[in-house]
Amino acid sequence: MILLSGVGKTFRGRDGGRVEALSDITLRVAPGEFVAIVGASGCGKSTLLRLVAGLVPVSLGRVEVSGTLVSEPRADTAMVFQAPTLLPWADVLRNVTFPLRLMGKATRTTEDEARVLLAKAGLTGFETKLPRELSGGMQQRVAICRALLQQPRVLLMDEPFGALDALTREEMSIELLRIWAETGAAVLFVTHSISEAVLLADRVVVMSPRPGRIADVIQVGLPRPRDFAQEGTPAFHDAAQRIRALIYAKKEAAHGAA
């Protein structure tokens, strides 16, 4: 579904300097697969998602979705950013349905489906509120509903739960898994939380710092459907420990080289 082969990305700074954000990334994500990406701050996780979203061009290599080269944003790909990015003048319902209306894909049932999603995200009663009337966490939940309503084949999520309180974060994780299982989207999910990565993902990509490379890919063997009870299992701890060891090994190597 998603294919990155030999992908590199170098940014040119305003001072003319160059930042090599990603180097030699090769990754294949199958339809319906949930892949989490973890790694130190600045290792290129957001950049990787933006490349797949068609928001920035690669410097080297190729990115494909559904067998075609990604050169611009696609209708079958939705992205949730770290910050909610809502339209400030549109109410919650209009924000959630906006992409489908924009693409001319809204149907008679779109609004009802949006209401169902908003209910699942704990936002019933807020449909006619403007973004500025909501808390940051609520705005982020609206942004997540907006992405899910599109029933994308590729869902790119950049630390989507970072702004949520711990309880809402847990609820949204399980809700995301439930909806994802129904839609079968291929998901790339960036997080700083190792336990969140293990709870959600089929595989966890661990990236090394500067320039971001894939250090290793950890297979999470936990059965689905997942729930928080699994956090206490040896298999969960084992996967989390392997990821932690990789991240810290890479950090120490980077510090040693500096």
Chain residues that interact with ligand ATP, rule: CB under 6 A: 11, 13, 19, 21, 41-47
Comparing CB distances to ligand ATP, the nearer of 13 and 88 is 13
Q: Could you tell me whether strands 34-39 and 60-65 are parallel, antiparallel, or unpaired per DSSP bridges? A: unpaired
DSSP calls for 8-67: EEEEEPTTS-EEEEEEEEEEEE-TT-EEEEEESTTSSHHHHHHHHHTSS--SEEEEEETT
Minimum distance from CB of 174 to ligand ATP (Å)?
A: 24
**Least distance CB 199 / ligand ATP (angstroms):** 19
Q: Which two three-digit tokens encode residue 13?
A: 């700074």
Q: Which is nearer to ligand ATP, 13 or 256 (CB)?
A: 13
Nearer to ligand ATP, 21 or 79 (CB): 21
With beta carbons less than 8 A apart as the criterion, state whether 245 and 216 touch. Answer: no
- Backbone φ and ψ of 21, nearest 5°: -85, -40
Q: Is the distance from CB of 214 to CB of 38 less than 8 angstroms?
A: no
Length of the chain: 258
Q: Which residues contact 174 (CB under 8 A, 6 or more apart)?
A: 226, 227, 228
For ligand ATP, the closer CB: 43 or 114 = 43
Shortest separation between residue 134's beta carbon and ligand ATP, angstroms: 23
Minimum CB–partner distance for residue 43 and ligand ATP (Å): 4
Provide CB contacts within 8 A for 145, sequence distance 6+: 96, 114, 117, 118, 121, 123
Greatest alpha-carbon pair distance for the chain in Å reads 60
When the beta carbons of 36 and 117 are compared against ligand ATP, the nearer one is: 36
Residue among 13 and 223 whose Cβ is closer to ligand ATP? 13
Minimum Å gap between C-beta 33 and ligand ATP is 21
Smallest distance from the beta carbon of 92 to ligand ATP, in angstroms? 26
